[in-house]
A and B are shown apart, each in its own frame.
Chain A
């Protein structure tokens, strides 16, 4: 072979090597850079750069001028507005009279969080402690808003509407998705049919889902109108009441996203060795016992990862409330992304960027906490 020639010297450019071969060698030597550079460059330009750029929007008052955008530095005024200023009720909800029940519950939650922080003092390093402090601060803040608004009987803002979509939506989707996957992993015929059918909603554009659901949920011309009349609910309008509107949002969001949980959990369930379950059946274990002792521990690591992915995507919800209710009644169904979108349309780019940033911080802290304390814990438990 040519490359084992005794005269071969690394780095020497002999006249016999063609230009193409030299290029190939050069690429091969730098293949480490060559392979990863396109991806990293693209992410730097189209994700990191805009994210950093966005901070400057959030810290400025931005105006459209004939020659382009005009930035004027205003400090943290755009952020302060969301917490203490004109947008406080819209973002956090009404936090004014705090009930006794809210106070007591808040005290209990704070005590629990501080106790958790105190206990982890012994088991982690200072870096871990920093992360835990951030999680704890976020937990206390969210608990205060929850106790002061919802549990004191006040209206909630876009912050808790978003969290309602994320947590309630994810819980419903996870339970139903896993249940369906469990049914489909049983020995029944027609499995493939159900698999295809259950998968379809994920394939439709979220926008189309929004309009389709708006049609189906219509109370005057929609398909359920005669049934509502039959039960005597012909005057009931779901979009007029804050909680029923939010709940309909969650139902429609679930319609689209249960398939995602379903396919991932189905793959996990089918990966469990059949003989474990069958051996337990022969030994006379009931199906509840089999599920609790054999199936559940084996799918748990996949389950928490799927839940994390779903949570990350759920924070971005915008199309459904935008189309179905336009954020109404009032601002009851507005998610944070939708709020930022409306403010952008009102040409207040600074506040819009500030809300987007608050959403980013919220998402990162919640998802990172979930990843560190739940997902990693479960993965470690299975590896051990």
Chain B
């Protein structure tokens, strides 16, 4: 088709053709554009409306919430800052010195838990400015657990992508058997947990060494990877009851460390599964030449591999950060007083028989959403590059 005929045909299309046929390859016809935009806008409204409702409710007072639906501020109700003011001033100690003291205690305690058998924790004062305490708790717990999770998880993912493992099937069987025996001893016979654990570990070491020759069958890297990823299937309700008992036994109930470790483990499968693909796709020559130059494996990992996978690492970190920021089930079981996180503050506004303080609850929800929206905007930049695709491909 020559250029002239093309232009002639294009200029002489009927109305129907103009509406329903695409003007060029890679473009959309006006009719389908209208349909597409309508659907997208309808869905945006569906997505935005509940969020909009939460935001405006946080600026309503009790009367405006209870007297029926009001939709637009300044038009059918007058917005107030009551809910926000209550949130920051409901406790009498919500002043600058109290918050500074709280902040110091937080740093002190997070340093002290390393040497906690020697130095005792300084008691926290949970009645001081609850919302501030919850916010800092959430920040501390989600940052530390994300850092731990991403570091440990990507180390494992890298090892599984580069080093060959062959754990013997027999050793695993011995381990599971000893685990069952330890639990039997502690639950039914009342043996102290640390003694039985030590005995079991020693037994495992000697049995594994003694019987090494007799085990032929061994597993591969793929099996280990599948095992780690399959941990995500585990419903949290299965583990939360024993975890409560476990943390009670070692006196770690209601501590930052307990939640940090738990969130790190719960999100570990996601990190390993996302990062494994990035590491496997890196050219191995770079690492080989670094090894020839005398670099050790940890150094290669830290100085070459991690910087190369920075986009993937960033996306994974942000995802884990959001997941641990929003977690509720573990927190409600294991953090009763001192380390209450933001989701618990949301639930706390449901005051039982007095009803729900919707306006205050909405203010807390909005406060929780703000940092996360910033992350969402950052995260979409990475997702648009198809970063998450490789992992989904399997």
Q: Which residues of A contact B (CB under 8 A)?
A: 1, 3, 24-25, 27-28, 31-32, 34-36, 38-40, 42-43, 46-54, 56-57, 60, 69, 71, 73, 176, 179-180, 183-184, 186-188, 192, 194-209, 211-213, 215-216, 220-226, 255, 263-264, 266-268, 270-271, 274, 278, 281-282, 287, 301-302, 305-306, 309, 312, 315-316, 318-319, 337, 340-341, 344, 349, 352-353, 356-357, 359-360, 363-364, 367, 375, 379
Question: B158 at interface (Cβ–Cβ under 8 A)?
Answer: yes
Identify the interface centre among B25, B160, B236: most chain A CB within 10 Å of its CB. Answer: B25
Q: Are A34 and B298 in contact (CB under 8 A)?
A: yes
Enumerate chain B residues within 8 angstroms of A353, measured Cβ to Cβ.
238, 241
The interface residues of chain B lying within 8 Å CB-to-CB of A179 are 39
Q: Nearest chain A CB to B315's CB is how many angstroms away?
A: 11
- Whether A312 contacts B325 in the complex (CB less than 8 A), given A187-B28, A198-B44, A207-B343, comes out as no
Chain A positions within 8 Å of B39 at CB level: 179-180, 183
Complex alpha-carbon distance, A313 and B152, angstroms: 23
* B33, B53, B65, B188: the one within 8 Å of A216 (CB): B53
Complex formed: what's the CA distance from A3 to B294 in Å? 8
Q: A31-B298, A56-B184 are in contact. Are A278 and B25 (CB under 8 A)?
A: yes
Pair B393/A226 contact, Cβ less than 8 Å: no
Q: Is the CB of A213 within 8 A of B394?
A: no
Can you list 9 A-B contacts with CB-CB less than 8 angstroms, sorted by A residue number? Answer: A31-B159, A40-B156, A42-B261, A42-B265, A50-B240, A200-B47, A203-B373, A208-B346, A344-B241
Contacts A35-B159, A356-B241 known; 17 new A-B pairs at CB < 8 A: A28-B297, A36-B156, A47-B231, A54-B241, A56-B187, A180-B43, A183-B36, A199-B380, A202-B376, A205-B368, A215-B358, A255-B50, A267-B386, A268-B389, A268-B392, A344-B241, A353-B238
A69 touches B245 (CB 8 A): yes
A56 cross-chain contacts in B, Cβ below 8 A: 183-184, 187
Contact of B235 among A184, A188, A208, A359 (CB under 8 A): A359
Q: CB-defined interface of B34-45 with A at 8 Å, one 1/0 digit per residue? A: 001101100110
- Residues of chain B contacted by A54 (CB below 8 angstroms): 238-239, 241-242
B243: CB under 8 A from chain A?
yes
Measured CA separation A57–B244 after assembly (Å): 12
Minimum CB distance partner of B155 in chain A: A35
| Total cross-chain contacts (CB, 8 A) | 302
Tell whether, in the assembled complex, residue A194 and residue B232 are in contact, meaning their CB atoms are under 8 Å apart: no
B372–A46 CB distance below 8 A:
no
Chain A residue nearest to B273 in the complex (CB):
A309
Instruction: Point out the residue from B235, B241, B377 that lies within 8 Å of A363, measured CB to CB.
Output: B235
B 311-346 to A, binary, CB cutoff 8 A, 1 in contact else 0: 000000000001001101100000000000011001
| Segment 184-241 of B: residues with Cβ below 8 Å from A | 184, 187-188, 224, 228, 231-241
Report whether A223 and B71 are in contact in the complex, using a CB–CB cutoff of 8 Å: yes
A340–B237 alpha-carbon span in the complex (Å)? 7
Instruction: Evaluate contact between B235 and A206: CB separation under 8 angstroms.
Output: no
Decide: A184 and B40 in contact? CB cutoff 8 A: yes
Residue of A nearest to B381 (CB): A192
Q: How many angstroms between the C-alpha atoms of A302 and B159 in the bound complex?
A: 25
B54/A215 in contact, CB under 8 A = yes
Q: In the assembled complex, which residues on chain B have CB atoms less than 8 Å from the CB atom of A268?
A: 389, 392
Are the C-beta atoms of A46 and B262 separated by less than 8 Å? yes
**A36–B380 touching, CB < 8 Å:** no
User: Which residues of chain B in 128-145 are interfacial with respect to chain A, using CB atoms and an 8 Å cutoff?
Assistant: none
Q: B69, A223: Cβ atoms under 8 Å? A: yes
B246 near A50 with CB under 8 A, answer yes
Closest to A56 in B: B187
Known contacts: A46-B265, A204-B326, A278-B26. The answer to whether A352 contacts B152 by CB under 8 A is: no
Task: Indicate if the CB atoms of B392 and A302 lie closer than 8 Å.
Answer: yes
Cα distance A315–B236 in the bound complex, in angstroms? 11
Q: Which residues of B contact A180 (CB under 8 A)?
A: 39-40, 43
Q: How far is the CB of B92 from chain A (nearest CB, A)?
A: 27
B26 interface neighbour in A27, A187, A213, A225, Cβ under 8 Å? A187
- Chain A residue numbers with a CB within 8 Å of B308 are none
A203 touches B369 (CB 8 A): yes
Q: How many residues of B contact A (CB 8 A)?
A: 106
Is B375 on the interface with A (CB-CB < 8 A)?
yes
B111 at the interface (CB under 8 A from A): no
* B-side contacts of A194, CB under 8 Å: 40, 44
Interfacial residues, chain B to chain A (CB-CB below 8 A): 22, 25-28, 32-33, 36-37, 39-40, 43-44, 46-51, 53-54, 57, 65-69, 71, 152-153, 155-156, 158-160, 163, 165, 176, 179-180, 183-184, 187-188, 224, 228, 231-243, 245-246, 261-262, 264-265, 268, 272, 294, 296-299, 301, 322, 325-326, 328-329, 342-343, 346-347, 350, 356, 358, 361-362, 365, 368-369, 372-373, 375-377, 379-380, 383-384, 386-389, 392-394
Q: Roughly how many angstroms separate A359 CA and B236 CA in the complex, as a whole number?
A: 11
Which residues of B are found within 8 Å of A274, using beta-carbon distances? Answer: 26
How far apart are the CA atoms of A377 and B95 in the complex, in Å? 62
| Cβ–Cβ contact A195 & B241, under 8 A | no
- A336→B221 CA distance, assembly (Å): 34
What is the CA–CA distance of A187 and B53 in the complex, to the nearest angstrom? 32
Select which of B46, B233, B358 is within 8 A of A367 by beta carbon. Answer: B233
Partner of B183, one of A53, A215, A344, A352: A53
Q: Are A27 and B268 in contact (CB under 8 A)?
A: no
The answer for the CA separation of A78 and B106 in the assembled complex, in Å, is 43
A205-B368, A206-B328 known; A38+B152 contact, CB < 8 A: yes
Select from chain B the residue with minimum beta-carbon distance to A376. Answer: B394
**Do residues B163 and A35 form an inter-chain contact, with CB atoms below 8 A?**
yes
> What is the CA–CA distance of A112 and B39 in the complex, to the nearest angstrom?
40
Interface centre among B26, B28, B241 (most CB of A within 10 A): B241
Given known contacts A27-B296, A205-B343, A375-B394, A50 and B238 CB-to-CB distance under 8 angstroms: yes
Say yes or no: A186 contacts B238, CB within 8 Å.
Answer: no
The distance in angstroms between the C-alpha atoms of A318 and B329, with both chains bound, is 9
Residues in chain B near residue A203, CB distance under 8 A: 322, 326, 369, 372-373, 375-376
Minimum C-beta distance from B37 to chain A (A)? 7
Inter-chain CA distance A237–B264, complex, in Å, is 42
Write out the residue numbers on chain B whose beta carbons fall within 8 Å of the beta carbon of A73.
188
Give every chain A residue within 8 A of B386 (Cβ-Cβ): 267, 270-271
User: Quick one: closest B residue to A317, CB to CB?
Assistant: B235
B241 cross-chain contacts in A, Cβ below 8 A = 50, 54, 57, 344, 349, 352-353, 356
Contact of A39 among B33, B176, B268, B298 (CB under 8 A): B268
A343 to chain B, nearest CB (A): 10
Known interface pairs A42-B264, A42-B265. Does A216 touch B68 (Cβ–Cβ under 8 Å)?
Answer: no
Tell me the smallest distance from the CB of A203 to a CB of chain B, in Å: 4
